[in-house]
Structure 1
């Protein structure tokens, strides 16, 4: 007897449909019953036979001793994870005649089974629901813990279930004209609005006006930012508040970000959708695979989990140099490509890099209140852990000095995140209107990567949108020669100056905008000279 069910497997952040074919033949003696799975299953899939047997038995069904063969097609794709438990169990019961509904082509089944027949959550159900919609599969049956996540996809009916018995009752109900369970409905826009909250606010920050201004510029243009200052000056405090002034996620951005978090298994099941820009802050002991992604079947790393959000690297020189160097590709291209012998996968990684570091091992180089105990060779070794090419890819470098006592004790609150965010959103709107005409003015050469912020401008767009007056031209030329800045630094100064002009609502880049942008590059290597 042959019975077919449908499931899905995730590769990268996209799902592929998997046909689960179940065949059994002949009643055997109990000690001769076999259960084999073919189609490149990993250990978790092969072990499903024991979970499935126990779940079927403990759900009140008999499983005669037969020779059972499970085929996961297409057979040339490696299958991993426990999400195939449910379709395998349903296929076995269908082959034994426990289902009235013989055609499950319009059902996508995903879920891990417990020995008692209960269903447990699995990662990656959002891309599976998207794939089901693209393939025209209407009904998606999955564990209740994953239902809210999948229900944000329009065009599919998501049925949350808690036990194997519930699944069978649901599937059998479709075979009759009677009513069946109602699918879960989630309005994605309402979820986005409900979850817009920020635990930190810039009004709590005392002093650091220059740093707050630099963060406003970074948020308005999507620029990478590096903070350099002594311990306790407020670098981490400032970093945690940067998400509160970023532009809100649009639905398509939220959907793409949620897919990555779903595949990685870090999505909060109570929310179902990543509604605010991610803020990822990995420890400096992280490996290059943890930062970029990896594994036999590659999984997204921290740079992909920070997609459409922030990646905060505190104590930047403490990260191994080889780990920092792998950031070059995602900072330039906005994607990460991981190649293995069996496959090559690409993950999106369009993020803002926010980094913080001390100026020396003791942390008090150039500090007016405390003496630095480090020798020049010690400082040079410490600073050299961050390469020049990586620093070049960071648009804004700022010094964050220690806060004075009077500033700490002042009674007045600082400017709130809400007011700063208004200016950021106004600048972003100006950029959106400008780049809406990009096809006519300066076509982009980036495939599938529309430009939304000044930091993403191509060289052609810089020439069009960052024209300078003769005075501004002379100022930039003098800065390039005196500071020995690279061509990449030249482009980043122009991008930052364009953002500063947008914050002021200025049509043209003025000398003062260039001057402020140059100020944000003074913490290059000359800072430690």
Structure 2
């Protein structure tokens, strides 16, 4: 007796179709699973046996062999419980197999026969559509997530008995159908707003430029100056995500198991703030079976690294390539996986170990050698990849007691959106969405200073000793400032402001 049920397995960010072949033959009772299953799949034997029995079906006391094909690809996770159980019921003629080939099946079984949610369902739904399946049978808790993929019949189920009754014609299940367009529009809201921030007008201006051009930012200032408060409100002034961007982000969160309960779609830009004790694998992703790390969970959003120099040197250095490429590649002996990592880095640090160097109220007690050691934890190449570096000083007494609300995030976001629209028109049919993504060829074509601005920039190169990468960054930031001003040509005032945000390039000498 042989049965075949189709399921899928997530490998990295993508899902691939897996054939679950179940053979039941005469012999001593045995239950084996082959095809490179991991421990969670091997343990499914006990869940499937109990789930079938407790759903009032007969579990065959024969030799059961389950093959997960193709056999040369590693499979993991409990999502094969449901297809294995259905394969056994189909092979023993307890379930008609006529309609099963039109669907993909995923789900974890409990010992009572209930079906529990699994990770990566959005990728699985995409796989089902690519395989031209009629529909996808998923746990009820995952149904809204799968329903994001249109042209696919998503059947939500809560138990093994319910699945059998549905395919036997004893029960009707209404396919999941949600109006995600309206949900998406209504979800584009942020709890935090820039109007809550007192003072810090220069820092707000720098963050507006960063949001408009997708530039990375480093904020330096004493404790309590508002660096974290500014960073947390950064997503609220960035352009709203498109539905396609939201799908990409949701896909990452689904694979990582980071979707909140009953959350079907990540509609707002992510904000991730890992602690400085995080490991390199936790930051970039990894593990025996690689999973997305914090930088991938920040895709299309903000990665905030507070206490920047306190992160390990290895963790900081692995940021360099993702900041350039927007991707992170993780290599293992069995496979090489690539995860998206197009994020905006916002970092914050104190000017010294005690935090009060240059403060007008409290005196710094650090030795010059300690200051150099502290700020020297950030390498030059990494600092080169941070477009905007700004000082966030202590608030004055007048700023602290002011009661007038500052400019709202919505008003700033409208200006940012207009600047982004100019950039996208200029980019044409390329994949570039903001100025920070421009390569040297595009910079040469579109970031042209006026004659006076060119002379000004050449003098700045001599005086500031800008590297080749820093030179490109200055031009990119200048172009963003020009876009915010609605001007096509880069002028002296745009360059001057951009250079002002590179004042900490040689940060060790500045503070020593």
TM-score range, shorter chain: over 0.9
The CA distance in 2 between the partners of 1:486 and 1:430, in whole Å, is: 28
Rounded Cα–Cα distance in structure 1 between residues aligned with 2:249 and 2:404? 38
Q: How does 1:377-396 map to 2 (within 5 A)?
A: 377-396=369-388
Show CA shifts across 1:114-144 (max 9, x none). 1001111110000100011011011101111
Aligned-pair CA distance for 1:269:
4.0
Superposed CA offset, 1:441-489 (max 9, x none): xxx6xxxxx0010000111111111111122112212222212221101
Aligned residues: 510
**Residue number in structure 1 paired with 2:329:** 337
Q: Which residue of 2 aligns with 1:508?
A: 489
How far does the alpha carbon of each residue in 1:56-82 deviate from its partner, in whole angstroms, 9 at most, with x for none?
A: 011111113111000000000011100
Pick from 482, 485, 497: which aligns with 2:466?
A: 485
In the alignment, what sits opposite 1:120?
116
1:86-485 equivalences in 2 (<5 Å):
86-173=82-169, 180-436=172-428, 450-485=431-466
Q: Secondary structure at the match of 2:328?
A: strand
Given that 1:87 and 1:109 are in contact with CA atoms closer than 8 Å, whether structure 2 keeps it comes out as: yes
Q: Which residue of 2 aligns with 1:447?
A: none
Runs of at least 5 residues in structure 1 that lack an aligned partner in the other structure: 445-449
Tell me how far apart the structure 1 counterparts of residues 246 and 403 of structure 2 sit (CA, whole Å).
Answer: 39
Q: CA deviation at 1:103?
A: 4.5
Cα contact 1:94–1:102 (8 A) shared by 2: no
> In 1, distance between residues paired with 2:403 and 2:298?
36
1:149–1:269: 8 Å Cα contact kept in structure 2? no
Distance 1:238 1:384, change over 3 A: same
Q: Distance in 2 between matches of 1:250 and 1:527?
A: 42
The ranges of structure 1 where at least 4 consecutive aligned residues each deviate by more than 3 angstroms after the TM superposition are none
What SS does the aligned partner of 2:100 have?
A: coil
- Measured in 1, the distance between the counterparts of 2:396 and 2:165 equals 69
Distance (Å, rounded) in 1 between the aligned partners of 2:253 and 2:186 = 19
Provide Cα deviations, 1:314-345, integer angstroms capped at 9, x if missing partner. Answer: 00000001110000110011101111111101
**Cα distance in 2 between the residues matched to 1:269 and 1:16:** 25
Contact kept? 1:239, 1:312, Cα under 8 Å: yes
- Cα separation, 2, equivalents of 1:502 and 1:171: 58
The aligned residue for residue 12 of structure 2 is 12
Structure 2: runs of 5 or more not aligned: none
SS at match of 1:83: helix
Q: Which secondary structure does the structure 2 equivalent of 1:427 belong to? A: helix
**C-alpha distance in 1, partners of 2:99/2:415?**
57
Matched, 1:47 2:43: yes
Tell me the CA shift for residue 216 of structure 1.
0.3
Which is further off, 388-397 or 254-263?
Answer: 254-263
Hey, what's the Cα distance between the residues in 2 that align with 1:344 and 1:363? 42
Length-normalised TM-score, structure 2? 0.98
Check the 8 A contact 1:227/1:356 in 2, yes or no.
yes
2:168 alignment partner, SS class: helix
Q: Judge which range, 476-485 or 147-156, deviates more.
A: 476-485
CA drift of 1:191 comes to 2.4
- Mapped to 1, the partners of 2:455 and 2:474 lie a distance apart of 14
Equivalent residues of 2:117, 2:141 under 8 A apart: yes
SS state at 2:229 partner: helix
Instruction: Tell me the distance in 1 between the aligned counterparts of 2:182 and 2:126.
Output: 19
